[in-house]
Amino acid sequence: MNWGIIGHEWAVEYLQRSITGGRTAHAYLITGPAGIGKALLALRMAQVFNCEQQGDAPCLQCRACRRIASGNHPDVRLAGMETQAAGVKASDAARQKDLKIDTVRAWQRDIALKPYEGRCRVFILHDAERLNEEASNAMLKTLEEPPPFAMLILVANNTNLLATIVSRCQVIRLRPLPRDHVAQALIAHAGVEPERAALLAAWSNGRIGWALHAATSPDEILTRQEQLDTLLALHTQPHSSSFRWAEDRSKEYRGGEQTLVLEWLDLWQSWWRDLLLIAAGCPDGITHIDRREDLEREARRYKLQEIYRFVVRLDEAARRLRENVNPQLALENLLLHLPRRTG
Ligand SMILES: [Zn+2]
């Protein structure tokens, strides 16, 4: 059912209709936030186009389907930041910020070949939003003249790609699943108890892949709670100690751990967004449902306008970090603008 995918039924139906109608594209772009299920959909597409049953759904049982699932099919290739980092020193790999032309060229050589044993050579490129200019232009050439047996599946966390690349792809935008849908799936497929399922679903923002991963990673959940406590302590600490937090994060950032630092900001923003929802009288959509009482108490301590401004500031800080401003300045600037509690 649904290609063994939880949610995103419309995307599966759309692809099935294209297959039965003989209208499949040479290139697809799957977008959506991290952990929403893009990689799984890309894998299922590679399977359906090579499945021995040749139906409009991958059987998931035949040799081709199984080999693709285990990453051992000669006609299905994967590339992305992770494959680019393979064979490079870990510290250098962490510093890589974009997908380079060599990564694109390596599989472009491959793409013109006939399939070895499947019907279609499928190239899945993860992190496509990180293609640098040179690599994008190389990619564009392949998209303009796609080899007859090849299918390109670009996977990206956002649509910040060359417009000419996007326009040559069939775009599939995966959207967050409803919160109760995620909770039900956690109960049904991962055996999570209802209360915990509700919490993970709230935290997931509709990203089913993230929720399933979190359900089996108790350490990660613990870390997340500790991080939130650290962030909340910043609200009352003197600048001398909160600036130490900014310094630590900025060291991480410079050391190549950009994603980790951006996740701190994401988590912080989820807290302030919750305060905003409560202050605005819409408490149903909050993320931190396990800390509702704290949130309600805190929300009374700030003016609505100030909460809103800080949510925007957090957004700006994340954007500036991505644009490579001095991370310490960006974070200290945030701390200096933390709203003051009234009462
Ligand atoms: Zn199959």
Domain CATH code at residue 258: 1.20.272
Please tell me whether residues 17 and 138 are part of one structural domain: yes
Condensed to tens digits (0 to 9), the pLDDT of residues 284-294 reads: 889 999 999 99
Please tell me whether residues 155 and 7 are part of one structural domain: yes
Q: Specify if 208 maps to a domain.
A: no
Q: How many domains does the chain have?
A: 2
Residue 204 alpha carbon to ligand 1 centre in Å: 31
Please tell me whether residues 80 and 225 are part of one structural domain: no
Q: Which sign does the torsion angle of CA 159, 164, 165, 168 carry?
A: positive
Q: Provide the residue range defining the domain that includes 307.
A: 217-336
Condensed to tens digits (0 to 9), the pLDDT of residues 193-249 reads: 999 999 999 999 999 999 999 999 989 889 999 999 999 999 988 888 899 999 999
In terms of pTM, does the model score above 0.95? no
**What CATH number did the domain enclosing 119 receive?**
3.40.50.300
Residue 58 alpha carbon to ligand 1 centre in Å: 5
What does the pLDDT read at residue 159? 83
Q: Specify if 324 maps to a domain.
A: yes
Residue 152 alpha carbon to ligand 1 centre in Å: 20
Residue 272 alpha carbon to ligand 1 centre in Å: 46
- Give the pLDDT band of residue 84 (cuts 50, 70, 90): confident
Residue 128 alpha carbon to ligand 1 centre in Å: 27
Q: Does 343 have pLDDT greater than 70?
A: no
Residues, Cβ < 5 Å to ion ligand 1: 51, 59, 62, 65
Q: Specify if 75 maps to a domain.
A: yes
Q: Specify if 203 maps to a domain.
A: no
Residue 78 alpha carbon to ligand 1 centre in Å: 19
Q: Residue 328: phi, psi to the nearest 5? A: -65, -40
Residue 40 alpha carbon to ligand 1 centre in Å: 15
Contact 12, 174 (CB under 8 A): no
Residue in this structure with the two tokens 């939003």, named with its chain if needed: 129
Residue 83 alpha carbon to ligand 1 centre in Å: 26
